[in-house]
Amino acid sequence: MNILCVIPSRIGSTRLKRKPLLPIQGKPMVQWVYENAKKCEVFSEVVVATDSEEIAHVIRGCGGNVVMTDPHLPTGSDRVAAVAQQYPQSEVVVNLQGDEPFVKASMLETLVGPYLQGDLPPMTTLANELLPSDSENPNIVKVITDLQHKALYFSRTAIPFYRNTSVEKPLAHRHIGLYAFRREFLLKYTTLPQTPLEKAESLEQLRALEHGYDIRVCLTHQRTLEINYEHELEAAQNFSFEEN
């Protein structure tokens, strides 16, 4: 199966200025993401999609492949779709966020696992254990699924409400914002109009659910550290790159 991995990386981040180029343990963040993606042997191609010549220079400097994209594209998914247009041979396209420097090859294999096993969901994503301290944090997205591991809802608030307090284990998982798409669905997905819940929660993946498309949630025990804030950047300097 031909699987394209695209890493959208723009220079104009708002919360952390010039985020992709910030150093983590001696390397720019985007270089870590690219090099870790290259360790995933099921990928046919790994490409960084960027609007920045500085980012392109870093990736080319480590032997990587870059596609320059329009700086006015509204989302990372639009940047990924723009690259996918240039790779018609790809059957599955992975959207690997450029702020996931600690992503593991095994996590990426889990993400595309359903496709490798012969299933063809419109899209897949990852989740892991939700810690008690995560439940009320709006910066940590929660996901609940049906019994076939299809997403029912994603939310920044605590879900579900436990009216029956005898439920012993958490029913929600912590969402990890990595996605894989059937290529033809990705190209359609970026043309779908925004939806009310997507706007309310500021969660792009809700667009697929509101338009009636399934998202398969693949569970992993691995944990990463997404970099959005200064305290996360500081924590990253001591975070382990090894499989955990």
pLDDT the model gives residue 133: 86
Answer yes or no: is 166 within a domain.
yes
Answer yes or no: is 242 within a domain.
no
Q: Quickly state the pLDDT bin for 15 (edges 50, 70, 90).
A: confident
Q: What is the mean pLDDT of residues 41-45?
A: 97
Inform me whether the pLDDT recorded for 40 exceeds 90. yes
Number of domains the chain is built from: 1
Answer yes or no: is 244 within a domain.
no
Answer yes or no: is 114 within a domain.
yes
Residues in Cβ contact with 198 at an 8 Å cutoff, skipping those fewer than 6 apart: 204, 206, 207, 210
Average confidence score pLDDT of the chain? 93
Helix (H, G, I), strand (E, B) or coil at 19: helix
Answer yes or no: is 86 within a domain.
yes
Residue span of the structural domain in which 218 resides: 3-236
Answer yes or no: is 81 within a domain.
yes
pLDDT the model gives residue 17: 84
Which of 4, 13, 5 minimizes the C-alpha distance to 226? 13
pLDDT digits (tens, 9 = 90+) for 141-194: 999 999 999 999 999 999 998 887 777 778 999 999 999 999 999 999 999 999
Q: What is the mean pLDDT of residues 205-215?
A: 98
**Distance, CA of 154 to CA of 143 (rounded, Å):** 4
Q: What is the mean pLDDT of residues 14-40?
A: 91
Q: What is the mean pLDDT of residues 221-244?
A: 82
pLDDT the model gives residue 243: 57
Inform me whether the pLDDT recorded for 86 exceeds 90. yes
pLDDT the model gives residue 116: 97
Q: What is the domain-level CATH number for residue 175?
A: 3.90.550.10
Answer yes or no: is 243 within a domain.
no
Inform me whether the pLDDT recorded for 244 exceeds 60. no
The torsion angles phi and psi of 28, rounded to 5 degrees, stand at -60, 145
Answer yes or no: is 241 within a domain.
no
Which of 21, 16, 10, 19 minimizes the C-alpha distance to 52? 10
Which of 89, 48, 54 minimizes the C-alpha distance to 69? 48
Going by their DSSP bridges, the two strands 3-9 and 45-50 should be labelled as parallel
